[in-house]
Structure 1
Amino acid sequence: MIDNISWLAIYPEIILLVMACVIALVDLGVHSPRRTATYVLTLLTLAVVAVLQGFYAASGQTFYGWGNMVVSDAMGNWLKCFASVAMMVTLVYARPYAADRDMLRGGELFTLSLFALLGMFIMISGNNFLMLYLGLELMTLASYALVALRRDNEVAVEAAMKYFVLGAIASGFLLYGMSMIYGATGSLDIGQVFRAINSGEIRHQVLVFGLVFVVAGLAFKMGAVPFHMWLPDVYQGAPTAVTLLIGGAPQLAAFAMTIRLLVDGLLPLAIDWQQMLAVLAIGSLLIGNLAAIGQSNLKRMLAYSTISQMGFVLLGLLSGVVNGNVDPATVENAYSSAMFYVITYVLTTLATFGVVLLLAREGFESEEISDLAGLNQRSPLYAGVMAICMFSMAGIPPLVGFYAKLAVLQSLVASGQSLYIALAVFAVVMSLIGAFYYLRVVKVMYFDAPITATSVSAPLDVRMVLSVNGALVLILGLVPGGLMSLCADAIVRALAS
């Protein structure tokens, strides 16, 4: 017997699934080359789902459904709300680009995006190993198809193949690790796994063996070193619209899945997985920043930038437990700073790729850093938005990226552990190195001679969304307290349940 709570927990997912199917059918009768009806219906669906998730999150309630396989809590609902908004913004930016490159012959861009978002929702809400894995597979299968959406483009098809092969290996890692933990604990339920491990009756070696594979699978999805090899190739090879789709909202789902698995389920093994995350963070910060310096391709540079940014997220995640002691204040501080970092990173990434997509509409891909030469002379607004994003990613005040980095570093220093303080110092040094390639983009836009004298034009919806997007990066840096409090409250409510 399925109770009303079970249905209540998945209403947004039901709406998303039904509307994805409806939009796929409606699109069969749409003959507009720009798929206007499909586009509008998709945005309306995402807006409704985002508002519904916002109401769920604002209520602050936590409830479980479908035999504890699904959880609806403040953290998950806020992340799903932000993921829906991120997908809306992505499609607004992507539509003109896709139309110019004959990617809208059908409505696949919109329907596959909705199915990818549904997979993210399941990842965020999953309270069971199988639910998490099914959500992950739904998201990645839709992403594989989206990367290969330009079927006549050899580079895109090659990127899709690399993504598929490496993604399958990573999924195998994750599934194997889950099976090892299931074999040791006898349960797929995350809460029961936590209680079984916490009892101390299970052999530690078996659990750690499974944990290694789980962390490896998660690291791949986040793009952490040494599981980053797919990221630069896929970012560069995929159509830029799809690159934004992969680099935006999915990071929120990957963060939520990491919290569900490592914190909700495997917290008694924190001493073990914190060491693994520390190695991943060091490698990501080092390789990401150093490799980005030598890149001339803008998308490839942003891929290595993503790797280094995920290093900061990992630093936030590893500082929650100190010497095996779970202090509520330390846990809240660490995980809320990581959540804040992920949300603000996605916000900045959306605006960055929005400008790249805007420039790419002039008949070339605008993938090289040199393609931005003299952008300030052609369009001061878009050059300003890009500069704000670059300064934010570099961690320069008063932009939101500075506060995000500061929050993570503060959580490391507050632990009082010499290792964590050393990691904080290392992260600061890597950020200084990383500032070089971000500031290089600004230098090219403002001080190099423009390649062309033509002005940059964009549809009204793109201009409005991009302007708001860029303004938020600045405003949230000036007044970050509201979003930081929201993250802290969401983390506290999620862990209390």
Structure 2
Amino acid sequence: MIDKISWITVYPEIILMVMACVIALMDLGVKTPQRSLTYGVTLLTLAVVAVLEANYALSGATNYGFGNMVVSDSMGNWLKCFATLATMVTLVYARPYSAQRDMLRGGELFTLSLFALLGMFVMISGNNLLVIYMGLELLTLSSYALVALRRDNATATEAAMKYFVLGAMASGFLLYGMSMLYGATGSLDVNEIFKAIASGQIRHQVLVFGLVFIVAGLAFKLGVVPFHMWIPDVYQGAPTAITLMIGGAPKLAAFAITIRLLVEGLLPLAIDWQQMLMVLAVGSLFIGNLAAIAQTNVKRMLAFSTISQMGFVLLGLISGVVHGNSLPFSANAYSASMFYVITYVLTTLATFGVILLLSREGFESEELTDFAGLNQRSPLYAGVMAVCMFSLAGIPPLVGFYAKLSVLQALVASGEPVYLGLTVFAVLMSLVGAFYYLRLVKVMYFDEPITASTVVAPADVRIVLCLNAGLVVALGLFPSGLMALCGKAIQQMLGT
């Protein structure tokens, strides 16, 4: 018999699943091209789920359910809350763009988005290898369908095929690594795997062999070098609304399963996975920033930017376990990574929000030249884009600066010579990265516009975009609240 606590841990997932099915059925009777009723009910559902998750997180309770297969803790609940809010914002930005391209005719955008979010929830809550994999597959299958939503568009269909093939390969890596861990430890439970490895009774070579495949699968989901091949092609080929859908909230879920698997389950093997993540981080910072300089397509440029930004997230993770350091030190390093990924998603939402606004029916605004003279046409949206570019470049006083600073402080605090070298390398790569961010700002403010048309946005998009950009500035000026929230959530996770 399933106890009450088990049901409490999955209430948000149940609400999402039920409402996704209800909205899919309800949409059959909606005839308006804008899908106003479907849109409204979807946003209401997401708002309720976000409030419920925030309430769970503020309670500070850690509950295990269904035989320890799922966990509801502060870190997971905050990540689910932020993923829900990111999905809400994405749908607000995506609706006008999608309506112009006949992507709302069946309501699949809303139902698939809810199922993708449900997959993220299952990933974040998973305390069992199979549960984590089930959530991952639900997210990726929904994402494949979303990328191919414009069925008559050859570019989108090609991007979906590439995503599907490479995604299947990455899922195979992850599943094979999980099977190796199960064979070595005899358990699928993350906590039991930790205890089995910590006992020292299992051959180290077998564990490392499985760990290599686990890290490869996680690296694909994070989009870091050398498993980054899908990111530029899918970002560029997918409809811009879907690019935001797969480039925003899923990063939070990918971070969560990285923490669940590597920190909660495989911490005794930290010396091994830290070295692997170090190579991935260096490659991502180097290739991501250098390749972005050569891009003239803004979506492709932001894809390589994502690769370099995820390199910074990995830097925080590798500095979390150093010989002789205490729990507060580890919590500080992991919370810096959590803060980084949350603020990165926040900035990415506003960035693609402006790109979606500039796109018109039959015209994708994704080349650098499309942003020429934007300040003369629409000063507000040029200002929003400039704020986002400065934040991604790590220029104070915006939130991107503090995010980078917190990760670099965690590296320096380790006191290890290798990590000090990584700090210097990361700063140099950030300077390289500043070039392509500032180039876009220069194009918006100093180049002559190629069109005189002004940018017109619906009221809901305009309000949300201004709030989004305002948060990027406010969290840069006052980052302590969100940083304290991340620190408390990570400390609670490590304590249990």
TM-score (norm 1): 0.99
Indicate the residue corresponding to 1:460 in structure 2. 459
8 Å contact kept, 1:313–1:342 = yes
Which residue identity does 2:309 align to in structure 1?
Q
Indicate the residue corresponding to 1:365 in structure 2. 364
Task: List per-residue Cα deviations over 1:343-375 (Å, max 9, x = no partner).
Answer: 000000000000000000354100101100000
Alignment of 1:49-60 (within 5 A): 49-60=49-60
Aligned to 1:454, what secondary structure does the other structure show? coil
Which residue identity does 2:4 align to in structure 1?
N
Indicate the residue corresponding to 1:187 in structure 2. 187
Alpha-carbon offset, residue 409 of structure 1: 0.1
> RMSD of aligned C-alpha atoms?
0.6
Task: List per-residue Cα deviations over 1:194-250 (Å, max 9, x = no partner).
Answer: 000000000000000000000000000000000000000000000000000000000
* Compared CA separation, residues 215 and 484, structure 1 to 2 (3 A): same
Indicate the residue corresponding to 2:339 in structure 1. 340
Which runs of at least 4 in structure 1 moved beyond 4 Å after TM superposition? none
Which residue identity does 2:308 align to in structure 1?
S
Give the distance between the partners of 1:106 and 1:63, measured in 2 at CA: 38
8 Å contact kept, 2:368–2:440 = yes
8 Å contact kept, 2:284–2:311 = yes
Q: Sequence identity of aligned pairs in percent?
A: 77
Indicate the residue corresponding to 1:47 in structure 2. 47
Give the distance between the partners of 2:100 and 2:232, measured in 1 at CA: 24
Indicate the residue corresponding to 2:76 in structure 1. 76
Alpha-carbon offset, residue 329 of structure 1: 1.6
Give the distance between the partners of 2:223 and 2:326, measured in 1 at CA: 29
Alignment of 1:89-100 (within 5 A): 89-100=89-100
Which residue identity does 1:104 align to in structure 2?
L
Give the distance between the partners of 1:127 and 1:451, measured in 2 at CA: 53
Aligned to 1:102, what secondary structure does the other structure show? coil
Indicate the residue corresponding to 1:321 in structure 2. 321
Aligned to 1:64, what secondary structure does the other structure show? strand
Indicate the residue corresponding to 1:217 in structure 2. 217
Aligned to 1:289, what secondary structure does the other structure show? helix
Task: List per-residue Cα deviations over 1:392-449 (Å, max 9, x = no partner).
Answer: 0000000000000000000000000000010010000000000000000000000000
Aligned to 1:104, what secondary structure does the other structure show? coil
Which residue identity does 2:427 align to in structure 1?
V
Indicate the residue corresponding to 1:198 in structure 2. 198
Give the distance between the partners of 1:64 and 1:361, measured in 2 at CA: 48
Alpha-carbon offset, residue 74 of structure 1: 0.2
Task: List per-residue Cα deviations over 1:97-152 (Å, max 9, x = no partner).
Answer: 00000101101000000000000000000000000000000000000000000000
Count of equivalent residues: 496
Aligned to 1:162, what secondary structure does the other structure show? helix
Give the distance between the partners of 1:424 and 1:135, measured in 2 at CA: 34
TM-score (norm 2): 1.00
Task: List per-residue Cα deviations over 1:322-359 (Å, max 9, x = no partner).
Answer: 13x45202111100000000000000000000000000
Indicate the residue corresponding to 1:425 in structure 2. 424
2:144 pairs with 1:144: yes
Indicate the residue corresponding to 1:263 in structure 2. 263
Which residue identity does 1:466 align to in structure 2?
L
8 Å contact kept, 1:96–1:361 = no
Alignment of 1:302-451 (within 5 A): 302-323=302-323, 325=324, 327-361=326-360, 363-451=362-450
Indicate the residue corresponding to 2:475 in structure 1. 476
Indicate the residue corresponding to 1:167 in structure 2. 167
Give the distance between the partners of 2:221 and 2:163, measured in 1 at CA: 11
2:105 pairs with 1:105: yes
Give the distance between the partners of 1:471 and 1:422, measured in 2 at CA: 35
